[in-house]
Amino acid sequence: MTRPHWSKLAALLGLVALVATACMPGVLATSGNTPSPTVTVDVTDLFNQAVTWKPCDDVARGAECATIKAPLDWDQPDGDTIDIAMARLVAAKPDQRVGSLLLNPGGPGGSGIGFLDYFSSLAGQGVLDSFDVIGFDPRGVGDSSAVVCFTTTQELDDFYAVDWPVTPEGFAESAEIVRPFVEACDQNTGPLLGHVDTDSSAKDMDLIRAVLGDQELYYVGYSYGSQLGAAYAELFPDNVGRLVLDGAVDPSLPSSEHDLAQATGFQQALGAYVDDCLGKSGCPLTGSKDAALNQIHELLVSIAAKPLPGDGQRELTLPLALNGLLVTMYEDSAWFMLTTALGQALKGDGIGLLMLSDIYLDRDDTEGYTTNQMEAFVAIGCLDSRAPADLASAQAQADRLIKAAPTFGEFWGFSEKLCDQWPYPQVGEPKAVTAAGAAPILVIGTTGDPATPFAWAQALADQLESGVLLTYEGHGHTAYGRSNSCVNEVVDAYLVDGAVPGDGKVC
């Protein structure tokens, strides 16, 4: 299960509406457009490159787009370059402009450009008045120099739908299944595939800050975007202006612990959904809460044994059913769609869960896969952190997942083989971040967040020397723009005026 990002929430809410490592010394620690005096001439040119904005109204009404150059390898910044694509909405009131506000919707693999229009409907007017809002696609993503693996819809359909049992035989089978995908990523992406790690993207963000002429970074990052923002703060604490890290990720946890915490969070969210469903008419589940959860489990078992009919061309396999089930846990206002889809599936029709899975995978009936977010997610994740991929370790992790998530945990194991075959070595390490000396950083956690559990926000706020925790008491993933006026007002005041709330404020 990936770390979700806001494009999925936007798609879900749209459907709801329709139906109802350390910085290199002296190289990157820049301020404004002036790089460190020890950088090479080529890097100086990059930090002083001109940005040419052109209209791109297909992104958002009135938006302008531009592309800048960044080093392919920040360890060799005078070598080959890549493209970083951006889009902006200029401040509605230039006379009170604070600076540029960078966005990341999460993932990893989410497009900031694709998120720009939606964010403009979430943010307070004061934010839109005071900032040039900048959506950018991180390296490896979207309109920037991007990760490319399979090149046809059919190849991706087959890969995302394939299932292997969580058994020793399935563990061996998984290696053969993922090998063509990994080889395609290597062949079709080239050297970029080894340089899409989070720290490299954080260094790109400082380059963006510099070429836009800002002395400090202003930033809103959701979900994985909080990890990217925390990495920036650790690398460039003196350049931190105002950072909002919403749906926070704990960067100190290894990937196996992340997976376990997410499984626990989704199990809890699914329990909350079942409570809600059983209390309403038309719920396809019956009996007690435990009985209803067992009905979902038995449905998944039956789909694993025999996929359900889907859209006439594709079947609903187990991985797709899991996507459809769990994507609705991101947003409690979408629970009614799961009720409809479960009702269909329990009668032998997989179309509803298949449609929800397509939302999760950014798949369109006419255009196929509209983003590369799933491929970028794998590429970025495999460089940042990897779980042990021997059978004994993988089986032990699978057993932990079953205990944490008895409804679906038995189907979540053995994903380790994907990164185990990755053609480039891991470059990041899970580690706590302190960002010593940084200005106050606002960390937001939602108590019922299934994808980024509340404990992660608490941990990140504690790790950051200047971290301030804002708590939203509610269900769903992230808070700013989708929770309540209390959260929105706190964030708006922090971004626009620099007003820091009391640590531990609850909304």
Q: Are 416 and 222 in contact, with CB atoms under 8 Å apart? A: no
Q: Are residues 299 and 358 in the same domain?
A: yes
Residue environment code for 435-444, b if the CB has 16+ CB neighbours within 10 A, otherwise e: beebbbbbbb
pLDDT recorded at residue 172: 85
Last residue of a domain, one of 420, 451, 484: 420
Q: What contacts 388, CB < 8 A, 6 or more positions away?
A: 256, 394, 416
Is 426 part of a structural domain of the chain?
no
Is 44 part of a structural domain of the chain?
yes
Q: Are residues 346 and 235 in the same domain?
A: no
pLDDT recorded at residue 154: 96
Considering 449, 475, 483, 492, which one is annotated as catalytic? 449
Q: Are residues 458 and 343 in the same domain?
A: no
Domain that holds residue 302: 153-191+254-367+376-420
Q: Are residues 183 and 47 in the same domain?
A: no
Is 277 part of a structural domain of the chain?
yes
pLDDT tens sequence across 242-273: 999 999 999 999 989 999 999 999 999 999 99
Is the pLDDT assigned to residue 35 strictly greater than 60? no
Is 391 part of a structural domain of the chain?
yes
Active-site residue, 449 included: yes
Considering 5, 195, 475, 477, which one is annotated as catalytic? 477
Q: Are residues 326 and 468 in the same domain?
A: no
Last residue of a domain, one of 399, 420, 441: 420
pLDDT recorded at residue 42: 65
- What CATH number is given to the structural domain containing 478? 3.40.50.1820
Q: Are residues 270 and 236 in the same domain?
A: no
Q: Are residues 141 and 130 in the same domain?
A: yes
pLDDT tens sequence across 96-144: 999 999 999 998 999 999 999 999 999 999 999 999 999 999 999 999 9
pLDDT recorded at residue 335: 95
* % pLDDT > 70, the chain: 92
Q: Are 86 and 68 in contact, with CB atoms under 8 Å apart? A: yes
Q: Are 369 and 156 in contact, with CB atoms under 8 Å apart? A: yes
Distance CA(507)–CA(503), nearest Å, equals 12
Active-site residue, 73 included: no
Distance CA(243)–CA(273), nearest Å, equals 32
Tally of residues, the chain: 507
Longest dimension (CA), the chain: 71
Considering 7, 111, 223, 466, which one is annotated as catalytic? 223
Is 242 part of a structural domain of the chain?
yes
Q: Are residues 265 and 287 in the same domain?
A: yes
**Partners of 88 in the β-ladder:** 64, 134
Is 112 part of a structural domain of the chain?
yes
Distance CA(474)–CA(9), nearest Å, equals 16
Q: Are residues 244 and 261 in the same domain?
A: no
pLDDT category at 352 given cuts 50, 70, 90 is very high
Q: Are residues 305 and 452 in the same domain?
A: no
pLDDT category at 165 given cuts 50, 70, 90 is confident
Is 176 part of a structural domain of the chain?
yes
Q: Are residues 260 and 248 in the same domain?
A: no
Domain count, the chain: 2
Q: Are residues 218 and 307 in the same domain?
A: no
**330-339 mean pLDDT:** 93
Is the pLDDT assigned to residue 202 strictly greater than 60? yes
Is 425 part of a structural domain of the chain?
no
Q: Output the DSSP codes for 345-384.
A: HHTT--HHHHHHHHHHHTEETTTEE---HHHHHHHHHHHH
Strands of the sheet with 240-246, listed across from one edge: 54-55, 64-71, 81-89, 131-136, 99-104, 217-222, 240-246, 441-448, 467-475, 505-506
